[in-house]
Structure formats: structure tokens, C-alpha cells
Amino acid sequence: MSEESDREGGTERAEAISLYMEALKARMAPEQYEQLERLVHETAHLIAHGQEGVFGEDDEPELSVEVQRELARILAMMLTGGTEHRVVEMPGPDGSSGFAIVEASAADDPARLAQMQAGLQAWADERKAIDAELEGIARASEQGETG
């Protein structure tokens, strides 16, 4: 892919996101839209500079479900360059509410969504086991140093 076509694709992506944001501005509460707009700009900056970021700083008001959902949609547009992905509700491993960005075909397939959720649960269980093992090693190491 040439550098010129990369720029053109980036321009088209930015225009699609801009158009989508304008539609959101017309239907969202102003304070929610401002919060979303700021998060989108911060995210775009982080992506452009190859950095990671975390949302939900202490001074940040909690994100409403609508802002979370729209942010997920816009992130999908930023990352994939298209609008064919869908945002679906996907409970987190701890039962908390959450969203997943999936292909449109997966969004309409309850069995596939259940499989994805089971995979997420398995990953979370494995992660929890690893964390517990590391915590045990750290405690044993501390006891060895003080004993």
C-alpha cells in the first residue's frame, strides 16, 4: 500500500468519524457529547503516537452507558476504518456490564456471542489464577527475606 493511499484512507476514516460525531452531537446531551468528544480526541492522539491510555481517571466523571457505547463504536471506526463492526453488550467476567466490538455476522449469532463470552471468562479465570500464583510467590519471597 502506498503512502498516498494510506493518507487517503486516513482522510476517509476521519471524515466518516467526523460525520458520525456530528450526528451524535445532534442527539446527545451536551455534557455527554463534550465528554465523548474529549475522549475521542485523546484516543486519536494516543493512537497517532503509538501510546496506550486508560480512561476513568479520578477527576473524570463516570462514563454513562451511552458514552461508553458510542466511544466503543468510534474506536472500532478508528481501528478498522469501517462501520461494519457492531457494539454488543457483553457482561464482563465479574458480571459487570460491558461492551464488545464484533463483526456484524457475530452480533446476530447468539451462539457465537456466547462462545466469545465463554472465551473471555476462561481468559479471566486463567488471569486470576496466574495473579494468585504470583501473589503467593511474592508472599513466600517476602517471608524468606524476613525469616
**Chain segment 99-116, per-residue pLDDT in tens:** 888 888 888 999 999 999
Same domain, 32 and 94: no
Beta bridge pairs of residue 86:
102
All three cell numbers of 101, joined, read 466490538
Domain presence at residue 128: yes
CA 46, distance to chain mean position in Å, is 13
Residue type (1 letter), 146: T
- Say whether pLDDT at 61 is over 60: yes
Give the total number of structural domains in the chain: 2
Same domain, 136 and 96: yes
Same domain, 145 and 120: yes
Domain span at 122: 84-147
pLDDT band at 1 (very low <50, low <70, confident <90, very high): very low
pLDDT at residue 134, rounded to an integer: 95
Same domain, 63 and 105: no
Same domain, 116 and 147: yes
Task: Specify the DSSP element, H or E, that contains 120.
Answer: helix 110-146
Q: Point out the domain boundary residue: 47, 73, 99.
A: 73
Alpha carbons 89 and 98: distance in angstroms, whole number: 6
Domain presence at residue 119: yes
Same domain, 3 and 42: yes
- Say whether pLDDT at 55 is over 50: yes
